[in-house]
Each structure stands twice: as C-alpha cells, then as structure tokens.
Structure 1
Amino acid sequence: NRCVNMIAHLFHSPLGEADAAVGVGTVGSSEAIMLAGLAFKRKWQNRRKAEGKPTDRPNIVAGANAQVCWEKFARYFEVEMKEVKLSEGYYVMEPHKAVEMVDENTICVAVMFGSTLNGEFEDVKLLNDLLAEKNRQTG
C-alpha cells in the first residue's frame, strides 16, 4: 500500500491527507492489463445485473496500435475487442473514431502512452472529454 500511495501522490491523485489510494502492484504491463480488464469487466457486470440487464456481451475499444495484451485479455476473458483502425500517417487511435464505437456494453477504452508503433502518446484529454460528453448524452 505504501508504493500505491506514493504513486498516487506522484500523479496528484485527489486524495485527502487521511485517505489511502486503492491499487495493486504488478510485475509488468501485461499483468496490469489483465487485472485492470478483469476489474472493468466485474464492475460492468455488477452494474448491469443491478439494472436487470444482460451481462454476456462486454467489449473494449482500442486502437490497432494497442499492445497485444489487450487482444489476449479479450480472448482469455470472453470480451469483444473493437479495434479502431488507424489512418494513413496517423499511427495512434483517433479519439472521435473510438467514441463512435463505444456502446452500453463497453467496459473500457484502452489508450496507449507510448504506441507500440512509434512511441507516440494518444490524446487522452480529448478522448476523456468526448467520452464525458457522450455519457452526458446517453447515460
């Protein structure tokens, strides 16, 4: 927990002085993706069950440049992988295209901080703003 709290403070997490960050240490990015994916899936399933909705068709949205572990997660844990195709000369996921693919069964949108193709960061701020707006409109 000490390391998790240190990382939370490093990234300016909005915790109060007495609050403890929640997280888990992993050995690498693949393990982190698997654990995060499972957490996303379980949270989505619990919410859907509480709403009386089906829980058998979760999906994730990720760019074609995503780390292969996202594909493995989808395959291993029965989650549909919606792949955002890349554009010529633009080798990261385009936020507008990603948001168009999001639906009520989307458990997460995976972004890359350092694309496996060229090291470029995806526009997380724009993606967040677009997703927040879609959520306001559709719930």
Structure 2
Amino acid sequence: NRCVNMIAHLFNAPLGETETAVGVGTVGSSEAIMLAGLAFKRKWQNKRKAEGKPFDKPNIVTGANVQVCWEKFARYFEVELKEVKLSEGYYVMDPEQAVEMVDENTICVAAILGSTLNGEFEDVKLLNDLLVLKNKETG
C-alpha cells in the first residue's frame, strides 16, 4: 500500500487527510489494463444487478490507436470494443467522438498517454470534462 499511496500523491489523487489510495502493483501495462478492466466490469455488473438491469453487454470506448492489450481484454472478457476512428493528420482519439459513443453499458473510456503510433498524448482533461458533463446529464 505504501507504493500505491506514493504514486497516488505523485499524481495528485484527490485523497482526504485520512484516506489511503486503493490499487495494486503490476509487472507491466498489459497486466494493469487487464486488472483495471476486470475491476471496471465487475463494478458495472454489480451496479446493474442492484438496479435490476441487464448486465451482460458491457463495452469500452478507445481510440483506434490503443495498445493491442485493450483489444485482448475485450475479447478475453466478453466486452464490446467501440473504437473511435482516427483521421488523417490526427492520430489520437477525439474526445468528443469518444463521449458520443458512451452509453449505459460503457464501463470505461481508455485514453492513451503516448499513442502507439506517434507517442502523442490524448487530451485527457477535455475527455474527463466531457465525461463529467455527460454523467451529469444522463447519470
């Protein structure tokens, strides 16, 4: 837990004075993606079950530039992969297009900090702001 808390503080996680970060150390990014995806899926399933809603069709939204591990996660754990297509000269996920693809079955939207195509960072702040707005509107 000490390492997880150090990383949380390094990235300015919004923790209260007495709160500790939750997380786990992994050997690499693929393992981290698989574990995070499973956590997203399980949290979504539990919420849907409690609401009496179907919980068998989760999806994730990514750019077409993501690490192949996201595709493997979707295939291995029966999650629909919704890909935001890239456009000429713009080789990262468009946040507005990504948010348009989000629905009640979306368990996460994956942003990339270092695209596999050119190393470019996606606009995570804009993506977050748009997702917060959508969540306020649709729940």
Superposition TM-score tier, normalisation by shorter sequence: over 0.9
2:101 is aligned to 101
Give 3-state SS (helix, strand or coil) of 1:60's partner. strand
1:79 is aligned to 79
2:65 is aligned to 65
Distance 1:129 1:71 in 2: 25
1:1-139 matched pairs, under 5 angstroms: 1-139=1-139
Distance 2:20 2:126 in 1: 29
Aligned-pair distance for 1:16? 2.9
Give 3-state SS (helix, strand or coil) of 2:121's partner. coil
Give 3-state SS (helix, strand or coil) of 2:52's partner. coil
Structure 2 stretches of 5 or more lacking a match?
none
Distance 1:131 1:79 in 2: 20
Distance 2:16 2:132 in 1: 24
Distance 2:42 2:102 in 1: 18
For these two proteins, the number of residue pairs brought into alignment is: 139
Change beyond 3 A, Cα 1:96–1:3? same
Aligned-pair distance for 1:36? 0.1
TM-score normalised by length of structure 1: 0.97
1:32-85 deviation digits (Å, cap 9, x = unpaired) = 000000000000000000000000000000000011000000000000000100
In the TM superposition, structure 1's runs of 4+ consecutive aligned residues that sit over 4 Å from their partners are none
